[in-house]
Chains A and B, each alone.
Chain A
């Protein structure tokens, strides 16, 4: 039985700072920690005293990668507090820009952050020389996804025109038509992406948990729905505090986010496990081709689920554009009835369900806020996976163990700068 002492300082190719610490004595795990060393930013405190008009533009700055998602969740929370129902055009445009961000974030993760592991290199940079066609395809698809956000929101990182009540500048029919054509032309690139991930060896691993995602009767939910669990229960978004709980864990002074079990998973695989029947046709086919079947309990398959969702998002964007063009785009006046109240907004962002909750006074100034970030929800489950996989690889060389553990963390596509304040911080 071996001893192992391991420390991976600043895990690379993840968004934010994290370390893994492992201590094994005579084959028994004495200590296994995912330590978060990102500096806290205190957004919930900073929001207090700010006007409803500025809130989404502030919370967008929580995360450069899921800025559209933070904006959407923020707008939904404010509109819920004001009992305001946005127009159908607004909802369609929000769904379209979320499709763009989902595509962009998933493709960035699969091509830039995961593929180097599977191709045995340290980053995407050497791939530009050895696999130029792969890198060029990645950049083409990423640009298309970002252009969706640009056309609809004015910018991919920190959108401008999405505001409480609607859009300050709806896109033109010509802009949407141009995107539609490029999306249709991107299908071969998306299929090639599926082929790439199919050819890459993903580790076999089984570790069932509770999978949570928004669920809607109407569609594969990103923008709207109730909180569904693969354990069978369903919770309305406004009651999220009853479902997502911070609990004290024995032998630890820190809290975990949990649902029915010790840990839970949100994100692409959790959405797939809950909502796979509602995927669009090409996405369904890609899932079948890639051997992704619900329920899937292999966390390494998150990357596969991301590819499936990127395809779904492209199909969904085409459908949203068709509906928008069919209805005709209107310059809708934005009138928001400001009043005192509280509201919760939840949307599916690339890494899982994102919750914003605000309380406003009668002038529309924030008095209280709560934000629950997907990576925070996944944190306990990442540790759960690390504990499950470590005994299976304990006979491997130290470097290989470190690499595999890093791959587990990276599979979740953690967004640490986003979720800092929710993560477990434990000092060695």
Chain B
């Protein structure tokens, strides 16, 4: 019997779900190997007898906590899809402001209609089995993780920093170009796509297992970032982690 899969989202841009559709070359084969029972963004049918749940988005409301717990009860395997689900992602930037003031700033006199709690990753609410990191997730990695799960294997992620891939890609070091970069402490696996396209690593994949964050913060400071600038860099995607606090 084909494994039954469901895709759910919480607070997010839904771009990581879109990456399923963006598996243009492989999507038909994936569809041949699994049965999708619940994927609201693309289908009307709704089934609750799934074994594998891919979950996108951060948790930012009380009601989302209950929904996520129900998904966890049903799913044998729960996969966090993308930076919001994995790390809390951009949503956590609001955690550094007064939550009441944040609501008033955006919704004005309607503020009380909008429930919000400090944003958090899925793992702050329920146990998460695996993550496909990144903002957005990488298509190839999504495919690899899906394949591993279908074969009953444990998906694994690289445990070395983006710098390693960046050197292999023969990119000029971002620091040498006068910019600052989170590559030295960020988990590789993205084919160093941002530095390759001329930008800096923003840390969307989270930290490697044993990052030397203090020495990295020192490097950032030496390259002219203020303390606030360093914190802002980490808070773009990693605001929930200790490193950004």
- A interface residues (Cβ-Cβ under 8 A, vs B): 10, 12-17, 39-42, 44-46, 48-51, 54, 57-58, 61-65, 67, 108, 112-113, 116, 122-125, 128, 135-136, 139-140, 142-143, 146, 153-158, 160-161, 163, 167-169, 254, 417-418, 421, 425, 427
Contact = CB atoms under 8 A, between A and B. Distances in A.
B201 to A, nearest CB: 10
8 contacts: A13-B43, A39-B60, A108-B21, A122-B44, A125-B36, A135-B28, A154-B193, A157-B16
Given A39-B64, A125-B31, A65 B42 contact: no
A64 B14 contact: yes
A156 B114 CA distance: 31
Contacts of B232: 49-51, 54
Contacts of A14: 41
B69 to A, nearest CB: 16
Given A15-B14, A163-B199, A168-B198, A64 B106 contact: no
A157 B190 CA distance: 14
Nearest to B44: A122
A96 to B, nearest CB: 15
B43 A40 contact: no
Given A57-B202, A161-B198, A163-B199, A42 B102 contact: yes
B106 A13 contact: no
A58 B42 contact: no
A63 B15 CA distance: 7
Interface string B49-84: 000000000001100100000000000000000000
Given A143-B24, A155-B136, A160-B194, A41 B14 contact: no
B24 A146 contact: yes
Contacts of B157: none
Given A16-B14, A122-B44, A45 B105 contact: yes
B136 A157 contact: yes
Interface string B111-127: 00110100000000000
Contacts of A417: 9, 12-14
A54 B236 contact: yes
Contacts of A41: 11, 60, 91
B24 A123 contact: no
A168 B15 contact: no
Contacts of B102: 42, 45-46
Interface in B9-33: 9-19, 21-22, 24-25, 27-28, 31
A154 B194 CA distance: 8
A308 to B, nearest CB: 22
A91 to B, nearest CB: 18
B229 A51 contact: yes
Given A42-B94, A51-B232, A122-B43, A65 B15 contact: yes
B45 interface: yes
B175 interface: no
Nearest to B23: A139
B79 to A, nearest CB: 17
A44 B21 contact: no
A154 B196 CA distance: 9
Interface residues of B, number: 58
Contacts of B193: 154-155, 160
A158 B91 contact: no
B131 interface: no
Contact of A168 (B16, B27, B105, B199): B199
B42 A169 contact: no
A12 B10 CA distance: 15
B13 A425 contact: no
A205 B10 CA distance: 35
Given A40-B116, A58-B90, A123 B43 contact: yes
B88 interface: no
Contacts of B64: 39
Contact of B61 (A39, A67, A135): A39
Contact of A154 (B18, B36, B197): B197
Contact of A40 (B10, B107, B197, B202): B107
A48 B104 CA distance: 14
B135 interface: yes
B60 A139 contact: no
Contacts of A139: 24-25, 27-28
A42 B119 CA distance: 11
A324 to B, nearest CB: 17
Contact of A123 (B27, B42, B103, B110): B42
B22 A157 contact: yes
Given A45-B97, A67-B13, A112 B21 contact: yes
B42 A46 contact: no
B174 to A, nearest CB: 10
Contact of B22 (A67, A156, A160, A161): A156
Given A54-B236, A155-B136, A161 B13 contact: no
Contacts of A13: 40-44
A63 B196 CA distance: 23
Contacts of B94: 42, 45-46
Nearest to A66: B13
B133 interface: no
A113 B43 CA distance: 8
A140 B28 CA distance: 12
B230 interface: no
Contacts of A16: 14
Contacts of A15: 14, 41
A158 B106 contact: no
Nearest to A50: B232
B236 A142 contact: no
Interface string B163-185: 00000000000000000000000
Contacts of A51: 229, 232
